[in-house]
Amino acid sequence: MLVKWIRCAVVDRVGFDRGQRKWAGLLGEPGFRAQGGGWSRAEPGVVHLFSFWESRALYDSFMARSHDRLAATQQGSFQDARVRLFEYRFDVKMGFEPRFHDADLLRVAHTRVHEERAEHFALMQEKVWNPAMAGSPGMLRGVFAQAESESEFLVLSMWKSAAERAKYRTERVERLALRAQTGADIAAITGDVIDMEPSWTV
């Protein structure tokens, strides 16, 4: 499964919102599974969007055929768009499904790791971080994915509410980081917390 992450700065909120609703046209596309996103809590005017596709081949076919027609409605409403593609590696909480309808909040972590530490980082995500996140009652589901570069990873988690995520965040994060040897693995990490915009969910 392919995970697409788009981050952009919106300059025309009304125009962007109107255009974003038109992405409902994705529903007829072969291989399309789901799309959702919303507004950054840390950076005013910044939007994060995530879409899921069954395979890179089906995604590439969509990009060649239909993408530009759908994207035209949002032209001029945003700037500084960054698009990254990742391949699904494993669930953060068992039973992951690409859907957004029951989530109020998304958390994205984008990590670049030292090349020789990539597999250790993935193993620690599976053995240390995933059980801790999965044990948090407010965490609905999540996905761990890897870029083609192999030393770049995405963790996307979906939460019932900000209050539920705060309970996890304040609980034992430093101890988990020590146990996972996170400092030795990571070259750079960025992240954001996103308030879902339900009308953009496809």
Average pLDDT per 10 consecutive residues for the chain, totaling 202 residues: 98 96 94 98 97 97 94 94 96 91 95 94 89 84 93 95 69 73 89 96 97
Which residues neighbour 90 within 8 Å (Cβ) at sequence distance 6 or greater? 126, 130, 143, 144
Query: Quick one: pLDDT at residue 162?
Result: 76
What H or E segment, with its residue span, contains residue 15? helix 13-21
The pLDDT, as a whole number, for residue 169 is 62
pLDDT for res 171: 53
Please tell me the distance from the alpha carbon of residue 56 to that of residue 39, in angstroms, as a whole number: 27
Length of the chain: 202
Q: Which domains does the chain have, with CATH numbers?
A: 2-200 (3.30.70.100)
Note the helical H segments in 72-160.
118-124, 130-134
Say what the pLDDT of residue 9 is: 98
State residue 29's pLDDT score.
95
Q: What is the pTM of this model?
A: 0.92
CA 51 vs CA 45, 110, 175, 197: distances in Å? 20, 16, 33, 14
